[in-house]
Structure 1
């Protein structure tokens, strides 16, 4: 805790100093506290996680988590949030070029991403599962994906858990990969019989499944646990420490559990129920 408080104090000092020098902030937490504005990246096409329908801001679990974190970092003062769509294939670039300050968008911690991103959290641990058409009785468990058409969503690594061997993969199953722009595109192709299965985190799949009841079926055959974290520009340790405090508070005051039940309580999934151990900040 001492380390976290020192980091937060340093972030505030750096932010104030930067403000006097022309408005350039070296940390996101400094920017939030001194300008009252932040740019947050989320998904815009994932039901119950980050979805834009018509005019207005995105809605979903990740969006609500982001709002909680920003409010915590601002010490409860009003902050204007600009929401920016952050597809899987563009997340690292958006952070690196400064287009977004934080990304809360089903962002799994992986070793390949660590050199490019500072991860705060994880804020939740979810299981990778697989979704098929409800009428497809040929796929009952994950091993039945052998030889099937599996979606490869651009920028996502989930398909690797199925088709690659360890250490990067898990199952080493031969499957036919079908490219898609994102997971909503995967679901469209699944509906149109252009592929046979979509495998990724169960909360993502459950969001799509509950949007069209009876059309899809989750195998409930978990492959691996995935750690969803908040993406921050590489090297911003002060913001990372502050976000970790926000995540801990979100679980301790019951908000995380409430939000999970708000968005996924009717899916039948066994929902995450505990604060994940933080990865630590560089």
Structure 2
């Protein structure tokens, strides 16, 4: 396991931001400077179809770990929950949304990668997940990554997960890319595909849904390390402020509470909160 650290300049910026965040604030509120943003709208990108991570429910509510993280961060930036405009951010659209200025930041199971860092900036990471597969509960033919060879493997367009399997683990897997994970799940249930691959945190959320309990199981393969970061436009001053908010979320116990709330029902064995600026490769 390798760790990639932020530069000295970035670390200095983070320290300054943390110092600023600590001045003029009470135990659970925002700094006096950030409070001036109250009432001003902020647009945040999330997933709409990932139970436990980012989900828009039929009654128009938004739930999931990323939603809770984004809401906490927005509060530290001076925005009340009612100030947040949630925008769907599919995997293939995230860089474009940030580059066009359609969103202020994105918290959407957004893994930090060198290729993406060439296009946008990342705060965090705020969660370390691992790539895994979801298969039907009665399927005993897939017990290791190599067993995915010749199997119909599904992931979403723009995701790094399927390509990771194709290039490193099972080059003969029959890759099928859909627009959303819910489409992959339907294919898996109907036996149109054999396995769905993405991060274990996302898969656990699907498997824990009431209508799917007992139908699927996680393979238990830790095929990669996925460092979830919050994407911001390149050069945005929000990066340091968001890092300060994430540090506070961990230190005041809100991070642990959000993990338990969103992943606890699925018995998801999460990693401890990662250190800001340290990427596990």
Which category describes the TM-score, using the shorter chain as reference length?
A: 0.7 to 0.9
Structure 1 pair 78/157, CA: closer, same or farther in 2 (3 Å)?
Answer: closer
Contact 1:88 1:156 in 2 (8 A): yes
Find the aligned partners of 2:84 and 2:203 in 1 and give their Cα distance. 27
> Is 1:91 aligned to 2:94, yes or no?
yes
Give the corresponding residue for 1:19: none
Contact 2:35 2:77 in 1 (8 A): no
- Offset, 1:77: 6.2
- Offset, 1:54: 1.9
Match 1:40 to one of 40, 44, 60:
44
Bigger shift: 266-275 or 44-53?
A: 266-275
> Is 1:117 aligned to 2:120, yes or no?
yes
Give the corresponding residue for 1:249: 248
Structure 1 pair 62/2, CA: closer, same or farther in 2 (3 Å)?
Answer: same
Unaligned stretches of 5+ residues in structure 2: 1-10, 21-32
RMSD (Å) for aligned C-alpha atoms: 2.4
TM-score (norm: length of structure 2): 0.84
> Is 1:201 aligned to 2:211, yes or no?
no
Report the count of equivalent residues. Answer: 255
Give the corresponding residue for 1:133: 136
Contact 1:31 1:38 in 2 (8 A): no
> Is 1:214 aligned to 2:214, yes or no?
yes
Residue-by-residue CA offset, 1:242-272 (whole Å, 9 max, x unaligned): 1111111111111111111111112222112
Structure 1 pair 78/43, CA: closer, same or farther in 2 (3 Å)?
Answer: closer
SS of 1:214 mapped into structure 2: coil
TM-score (norm: length of structure 1): 0.83
Contact 1:39 1:82 in 2 (8 A): yes
Aligned ranges for residues 116-265 of structure 1 at < 5 Å?
116-164=119-167, 170-211=168-209, 212-236=212-236, 238-265=237-264
Match 2:77 to one of 49, 73, 79:
73
